[in-house]
Chains A and B, each alone.
Chain A
Amino acid sequence: MNPFKKFLFELQETAFLVYYAFVRVFRRPVYLSEWVRQMDVIGVGSLPIILLTGFFTGGVLTLQSYDTLAYYGGQSETGRLVAYSLIRELGPVLSALMVAGRIGSAISAELGSMVVSQQIDAMRALGTDPYRKLVAPRIIALILMLPLLTVGADLFGIIGGGIVANSLFGLDYNVFLTSVRNGIATEDIIGGVIKPIFFGLIIGSVACHKGLSTKGGTVGVGRSTTSAVVLASIVVIIADFFLSRALQHILE
């Protein structure tokens, strides 16, 4: 199969997976406990690394931009730059990349292991639809949790930026926070929350598809885990561009 055909085939398979997961999601039995468990694993479990990522990204933004701003006499606008960059771009994208690494790999490895050890077949044989039991809760948890994690990353990024601005450059907290408030508009926040919804869908569907299409034993599990993380990350970055353009068009 040539690479283009293979790509189209994979795209079709992933689209079907999402379709099946959502079409059957409210059929009985509804696996609410599984939804909650996945939200806990994905949301609460990823919180420390996301907050750390946000905090140090905010810090490094201040570190790298303060001198340039000061050169033009705009050091009081450091908060605006940090908040704007974080909320519009870095928060959603970095959170999605961290979650793709942590959760995308875990989902793909777990489902892949279940495939090679015939647990998925066993599940189907016992009358359970794996799309509803395994795929839907993971994708839904990602769609719901990633925006919340992103908001956390944004907040901690602003805090990190403020601490660095104050401790290293002596910028007053009030000045920093005022520029943050002045620099952010409602559409920035809306855009910053809409993006992770799509990123959650991308990470979940890619990871579930790669996991469920695992072939070739434990080596295959490793392969599908790697390709899930790489593919999800690349698609997130590509989608970010088109989403940014679309949101610019819609919100502004």
Chain B
Amino acid sequence: MLSFLRKNKTESAAHGTLQPVTKDIEDAFFQPTRALPAIEFRNVYLAFDDKVVLDGVSFKVRKGETKIILGRSGSGKSTLIRLVLGLLKPDQGEILVDGEDITYLSEAQMMHVRAKIGMVFQEGALFDSLPVYDNVAYRLHERDVDEEMVEEQVKRMLEFVDLEEAIHKMPAELSGGMRRRVGIARALVGNPRIVLFDEPTAGLDPPTARTICELAIKLRDIQDVSSIFVTHEMKNLEYLSSEYAIIDNEGKVVFEEEGERLCIINTEIIMLHEGKIIFSGKEEQLRASRDRYIQRFLNGK
């Protein structure tokens, strides 16, 4: 619910589609720690041999915000999220997660940072030797969580991605879309406050890609999760920037388009080109940009 800015509180309440914003949630929204960015890049440089991958990249992801990272293949999009997880280290600059500087943390020190982050990989990156249940439960098994609690969480997460029936299947038995959804369920176990999506819809058919975007929207709007969504597909951009999720009177999640009643304030776009940020802002601003590279990217010409 925190994901929306009410244009007119009285009007939206009169429509009765939004849950009333409770005192607790309002307090949480305005508490000082919320002002702290979930992720912050400060002038980050990274090069592999002679190839500069990131060249002075700076940006912030606010709490509850989705940052869409656009760019061609090889523009450094996936590298960005690998840096957030500490899977790579920058040559220069600082990276902060929840206000903590993680730039030079060791592998062991990174473990508590990674516990706050869920990562959805391009192809799902499921463990081939483990069934869906154990894949999703992986993080909990690592923490020696009681099996009863593990089972409850796994079922809840598989229900969230609408894959309850696949609980005992092996990854090899799943379709590409199902693998990504299991990957999302695995990333969400333990309720991470930050989720990183690395081209989660690449190579998927449009309806499945849409389902993945809906899951990302649900996370943003219902769960108040901060996320980075790396993609080069314009359809994803459209869904994430123009639709929001709410819980209707029957308790079901429904998706509505941004309009007069509500506008989405918590999705921004960053565009990378040759390791530099060449655009940062809203979808409308991106589409209005006169930059030739951006126009070529948007129009696919």
Contacts and interface: CB of A to CB of B under 8 A. Distances in A.
Interface stretch (A118-126, A151-159, A177-185, A187-195): A118-126
A117 interface: yes
Given A29-B144, A129-B107, A121 B128 contact: no
Contacts of A124: 85, 87, 107, 114
B111 interface: yes
A129 B87 CA distance: 12
Given A126-B186, A127-B111, A129-B107, A121 B142 contact: no
B153 to A, nearest CB: 14
B73 to A, nearest CB: 15
Contacts of A121: 82, 85, 87, 119, 121, 125
Interface in A101-118: 113, 117-118
Nearest to B118: A125
Contacts of A126: 114, 138-139, 142, 186
A35 to B, nearest CB: 16
A128 interface: yes
Interface string B101-139: 000000110010011010101110111100000000011
Contact of A118 (B108, B117, B123, B142): B123
A251 B121 CA distance: 54
Contacts of B85: 121, 124-125
B144 A125 contact: no
Nearest to A118: B125
A28 to B, nearest CB: 8
Contact of B125 (A29, A117, A127, A129): A117
A126 B188 CA distance: 11
A126 B122 CA distance: 16
A122 B115 contact: no
Contacts of B111: 127, 129
Given A121-B82, A121-B121, A128 B142 contact: yes
Contacts of B123: 117-118
A81 B252 CA distance: 81
Interface in B266-301: none
Given A125-B117, A126-B114, A126-B138, A119 B125 contact: yes
B127 A118 contact: no
B252 to A, nearest CB: 31
Nearest to A27: B108
Nearest to A129: B107
Contacts of B107: 124, 129
Contacts of A113: 128
User: Top 5 nearest A-B pairs by Cβ distance?
Assistant: A118-B125, A122-B125, A125-B119, A118-B121, A126-B139
Interface of A: 29, 113, 117-119, 121-129
Interface of B: 82, 85, 87, 107-108, 111, 114-115, 117, 119, 121-123, 125-128, 138-139, 142-144, 186
30 contacts: A29-B142, A117-B123, A117-B125, A117-B128, A118-B122, A118-B123, A119-B125, A119-B126, A119-B128, A121-B87, A121-B119, A121-B125, A122-B119, A122-B126, A122-B186, A124-B85, A124-B87, A124-B107, A125-B114, A125-B117, A125-B119, A126-B114, A126-B138, A126-B139, A126-B142, A127-B114, A128-B138, A128-B142, A129-B108, A129-B111
